[in-house]
Structure 1
């Protein structure tokens, strides 16, 4: 396998890790106003992700860094053409991080909770908009420069993609809260899961069918998304919270697999296929990719082991008195 393909797959894996882990973080933030009846409950909801949310965001930083190093043309075109949406995501993530750090240090938490809510909802929606455009293709000229406008990115297919990721991450967060809490909080999260599930299944599947991939890997991933979502609901109905979370994580993994599987060998398709960025014309030199591969092979297992240890340490359920 060529190193360009290896790094395309590794970047897909990094985005998968980010969406699986940060996805339930976004869902927790979105659900805070609906499940947190009192301050004790809201504090418990925030505490479910308190030890891990900043570690989950590292996946995004590494994915961005890997894209910059392995496919600099892709990085340059993406961050210039998608500048405003990505800037809005960055602002939302900053507001969200500040809210999580300062809500416990303030006498009034309402303002911080609003920042946490909007800082979670914004990226959950905008990431779907961004990846839908990447999958669909954008207007690029012969120099791989983006020639569209912000309104070009806000097309119906992209908005459907944003709604799909918003609902999927919210559902993922509800299932996570069902797994991590007890008592009334757990029951409320379970009810929210049952309410969100039908809309999430319909919208996510509508988005994937509208994308219309034509490869076996695409349809296998789509089938796995459907299986994961229905499995999550079935496990929730049976009170099997661990299995429900596993199934929803599989749905997120399969969605990212479908997106990247439908994209390859392009990294950023153009409306005129002759101007598309591919794993070949967007890649760094073979020497750079070789050095990066050795670094990734050495340090990735260490990072994964540390994060797994963190989740194991903070695995216990939380109550409203926490």
Structure 2
């Protein structure tokens, strides 16, 4: 297998890791005003992802870095053409990270509500725009003969891309609801489980429509198999949630997202950014790749360090595997009285 194919596959794995892990982070953030009734319950929900959210974002950083090093033409065209949506995602992620860190810095309800809003918006924007971005990559964008993006921002807001955004939004909300049901106890757990059932139904409709449209446009036999398996996994997640088997239900949405993303990359290969212009040039794993020497060095580094990163993240999830309930949250400190 050529190194360009190896690194295309590794980048696909990195995006799978990012969406399956950060996906429930986004879902928890978006569901903060829906599942929590007071500040203590909001703290319970935030604490379910508190030890892992920043580690989950490492997958995005590595995916971006790997794309820059392995396929520099892909990286350059993607970031110049998708500058505004990627900037919005970046700002949203920064604000969301600040909210997690600063929410508890002051004992003031208004202060906490503002940071809660930052968490909600900072989760919603990437959950929607990542789907829009990936749908446009699959659909193709105007790339000229010089491998430069020749379109505008509003060309990215086409019906297919918007459906892709709604699909990722629905998947992440469902994934997050099942994660909350898996990681909490008491009333929040029951609310999350109750919300997960209708969320699975709505998401299934969106996902089937988007994946079928994708298969019709650029699909292969491999992508068709992945998409069908993803749909079956989502059905299994719904059945498990109905039977109150939160662990199996969460695994179902995890597998659904993983198979759906894998299918998208299978449908894209060997292109990395197809063009919609008659005289344009599509970016492929061949003409967008770095030199063989660069790819060879990167492969050695990946073989050495990837198992270490995976082992550390698995250990983190194992350490923080227990459920969280309201009685685990300490009372907020009383405001100091003037003497």
Whether the TM-score (by the shorter chain) exceeds 0.5 is: yes
> How far apart in 1 are the matches of 2:102 and 2:131?
28
Which among 287, 296, 308 is matched to residue 293 of structure 2? Answer: 287
Give the 3-state SS of the residue equivalent to 1:48 in structure 2.
Answer: helix
- Counterpart check, 1:254 vs 2:254: no
Which among 164, 168, 181 is matched to residue 178 of structure 1? Answer: 181
- Counterpart check, 1:215 vs 2:212: no
Give the 3-state SS of the residue equivalent to 1:138 in structure 2.
Answer: coil
How far has the Cα of 1:175 moved from its partner? 0.5
- Which residue of structure 2 lines up, in the alignment, with residue 306 of structure 1? 312
Query: 59-68 or 103-112: which moved more?
Result: 103-112
How far has the Cα of 1:104 moved from its partner? 1.4
- Counterpart check, 1:195 vs 2:198: yes
Count of equivalent residues: 322
Which among 117, 120, 130 is matched to residue 117 of structure 1? Answer: 120
CA radius of gyration, larger in: 2
Residue deviations 1:51-81 (CA, integer Å, cap 9, x gap): 0000000000000000000000000000000
- Which residue of structure 2 lines up, in the alignment, with residue 127 of structure 1? 130
Give the 3-state SS of the residue equivalent to 2:326 in structure 1.
Answer: coil
> How far apart in 2 are the matches of 1:84 and 1:253?
27
> How far apart in 2 are the matches of 1:139 and 1:64?
22
Query: 63-72 or 190-199: which moved more?
Result: 190-199
TM-score, length of structure 2 as denominator length? 0.94
Query: 220-229 or 308-317: which moved more?
Result: 220-229
Give ranges in structure 2 of 5+ residues lacking alignment: 330-339
Give the 3-state SS of the residue equivalent to 1:149 in structure 2.
Answer: coil
> How far apart in 1 are the matches of 2:46 and 2:105?
14
> How far apart in 1 are the matches of 2:79 and 2:153?
13
Which among 254, 271, 278 is matched to residue 266 of structure 1? Answer: 271
> How far apart in 2 are the matches of 1:167 and 1:215?
25
> How far apart in 1 are the matches of 2:261 and 2:70?
19
How far has the Cα of 1:216 moved from its partner? 1.2
How far has the Cα of 1:169 moved from its partner? 0.5
Give the 3-state SS of the residue equivalent to 1:94 in structure 2.
Answer: helix
How far has the Cα of 1:106 moved from its partner? 2.2
- Counterpart check, 1:226 vs 2:231: yes
> How far apart in 2 are the matches of 1:27 and 1:66?
26
How far has the Cα of 1:197 moved from its partner? 1.2
Hey, which bits of structure 1, 4+ residues long, moved more than 3 A? none
TM-score, length of structure 1 as denominator length? 0.99
Q: Could you say what the CA RMSD is over the residues aligned between the two structures, in angstroms?
A: 0.8
Residue deviations 1:231-273 (CA, integer Å, cap 9, x gap): 1110111111111111110000011011100000000110137
> How far apart in 2 are the matches of 1:197 and 1:243?
14
- Which residue of structure 2 lines up, in the alignment, with residue 10 of structure 1? 10
